[in-house]
Amino acid sequence: MAKRVPKSFFQRDTCAVAQMLLGKELVREQIRLRITEVEAYLPDDSACHARSGPTKRNAAMFGPPGRAYVYLCYGLHHLLNIATEPEGVGAAVLIRSCEPLTGHETIYARREGKAGAPKGPALLTGPGKVGQALGVDVSWSGHPLYQAGGLEIREGPPPEQRCIGPRVGIGYADPEDRDAPLRFAIANTPWVSQRKTLTLV
């Protein structure tokens, strides 16, 4: 298995971390997911949860880089983020989509709803689905992703080509933040949500 991404990887510009996360692997127990789509949430960003300063919910965003920030969205979806920037600065990268590499049985079991787990990319293209597949919840906020145990990020082959576009679901943000090209995805893969809004880089 590939080695873990070191702590130093996360201590740099949030946009750089977001783009370099494409192709890396999220590993928990027997599940391995290739990261295919991410979004950057920056300091001084009206779309970022940290925009109003630290709170009980977003505290992990202000913590040291390389740790998980998991929060509950719409009362039912657990969204996985990775804290970036030095301690005291509120910024993070949201994991939007993944391609399953191993652990399909567990993923299917966790994603199974009334109609069963969907076949194909609908299985994991969306941040709520990724959180569900990995079995994370808000208690994972603050968990280090650069050390053994629990949830880890490991090296993987970088994408040959990338896509870029505006972020999803942030209509409440200021126009300049709402339209900022801070969403990154691997090109030429079906494991990406909302592909039509993306353009090749």
Partner DNA sequence: ACAAGGATCCTCT
Partner DNA sequence: GAGGATCCTTGTT
Which residue, 5 or 81, has its beta carbon nearer to DNA?
A: 81
What's the min distance (Å) between Cβ of 53 and DNA?
7
What's the min distance (Å) between Cβ of 189 and DNA?
17
Which residue, 19 or 81, has its beta carbon nearer to DNA?
A: 81
Which residue, 55 or 147, has its beta carbon nearer to DNA?
A: 55
What's the min distance (Å) between Cβ of 85 and DNA?
12
What's the min distance (Å) between Cβ of 40 and DNA?
9
What's the min distance (Å) between Cβ of 3 and DNA?
27
Residues sharing a CB contact under 8 Å with residue 114, sequence separation 6 or more, in sequence order: none
Contact indicator for 18, 40 with CB cutoff of 8 Å:
yes
Residue whose tokens read 């127990």: 29
Environment class of 45 (CB within 10 Å of its CB; exposed 0-12, middle 13-18, buried 19+): buried
Residues sharing a CB contact under 8 Å with residue 41, sequence separation 6 or more, in sequence order: 14, 47, 48, 49, 50, 81, 91, 92, 93, 94, 182
Environment class of 138 (CB within 10 Å of its CB; exposed 0-12, middle 13-18, buried 19+): middle
Which residue, 76 or 148, has its beta carbon nearer to DNA?
A: 76
Residue whose tokens read 């873990």: 4
Which residue, 9 or 69, has its beta carbon nearer to DNA?
A: 69
Q: Which residues contact DNA (rule: CB under 7 A)?
A: 39, 41, 47-50, 52-53, 55-58, 61, 71-77, 79, 81, 92, 94, 111, 113-115, 118, 122, 126-129, 138, 167-172, 193
